[in-house]
Chain A
Amino acid sequence: MGASYGKLMMWFFLLSDAFTFSGLLITYGLVRSSHPAWEGVREEYVFSTEYWPIPERVFEAVPFLHGISLPLVFVGIMTFILIMSSVTMVLAVEAGHRMDRKAVEKWMLWTILGGATFLGCQAWEWTHFIVGTEIPTIKDVFNVKTGVWDKINVFGANLHVNQYGPQGFADFFFFITGFHGFHVFSGVMLNFLIYYNTVTGVYERRGHYEMVEKVGLYWHFVDLVWVFVFTFFYLV
């Protein structure tokens, strides 16, 4: 069939993984389209659980630049980091084709660094999302003991409350970016394994660097998924 067994199986695994991510993102689309959108002027937009939030108003914080509104800048940087680590990965694959061990080591290290940086950025973004803004969102909550509706201040988001919008928005944020982040984490682990095997000369003795190529496929897939998450969660 013109493709090795290992590569073929990696492709089929990635195809099944693509279906999983599609399921998540499409369900996000379903829930989002069942909610009303913000109808007013964009400048007057405020957080409310009544309508779906405008993502660029939720994600506008950048580390060390507290209080400055920089919509989508940080997530743009994260996208750039992941694309760059995909490039270094493909350069490692190219070096593997030439049996150039030193170059494979170099590019694998850059790839690992890129993946780790992305995870660090995501940890920061999650923290910011969970802690919330300085001004709370007021939410009506039914008090079971007194039988009346209370107004409470909501800061940040978790799986119970969400200051940015309907609960589903926070749930999907944690699930989709979390599931992707776990893929990145696994990818970094696999990349490290490849790096280790390269340094110890396993692939040199084996006579080929196909493992770099197979793990590379996985790593590019993680980048591919992020491209879709970036569009459907942050941009649209």
Chain B
Amino acid sequence: MAHHSHEPLVTVLPPDKEKIKRLWKVAGILGLITAVEFAIAFLWPHGVSKTAIFVILTIVKAGYIVGEFMHLRYEAKFLFWAVLVPILFIIWMLVAFVYEGMKMPVFL
């Protein structure tokens, strides 16, 4: 062959032990919270307090997934707020819809 094509020379860096350790730690926390939710589902008395615990634990889990796995905590501040601020509208929507639902007659 006249033109011998070379694969580009790639320098493979060694694994970032610190980072990998942190990722597994986050995975452990997520698994643990899910296990706690599972336990609460059967041990905690039913009511508003149970729902509140579930919502808080879910938001904690979401925080870990978005912050660590999706790396948002370490992104530019502009991106961080551009994603976070619109979420406020969802909270408004949630409160408005569920409040309306409780006043509504059965329709489905």
Contact = CB atoms under 8 A, between A and B. Distances in A.
Interface of A: 1-3, 8, 11-12, 15, 18-19, 22-23, 26-27, 29-36, 42, 56, 71-72, 76, 79-80, 83-84, 86-87, 89-91, 94-95, 97-101, 103, 166-168, 171, 201, 204-205, 207, 216-217, 220-221, 223-224, 227-228, 230-231, 235-236
14 contacts: A3-B78, A15-B86, A18-B90, A19-B89, A26-B90, A71-B42, A76-B38, A83-B27, A94-B19, A98-B13, A99-B12, A216-B70, A231-B55, A235-B37
Contacts of A1: 76, 78-79
B10 interface: yes
- Which among B55, B62, B101 has the greatest number of chain A C-beta atoms within 10 A? B101
A83 B65 CA distance: 9
Interface in B1-27: 7-8, 10-16, 19-20, 23-24, 26-27
B58 A228 contact: yes
A222 to B, nearest CB: 10
Contact of B107 (A34, A71, A207): A34
A184 to B, nearest CB: 15
Contact of A223 (B11, B65, B86, B89): B65
A98 B15 contact: yes
A83 B78 CA distance: 28
Contacts of B37: 231, 235
A36 B102 CA distance: 10
B17 to A, nearest CB: 11
Contacts of A42: 46
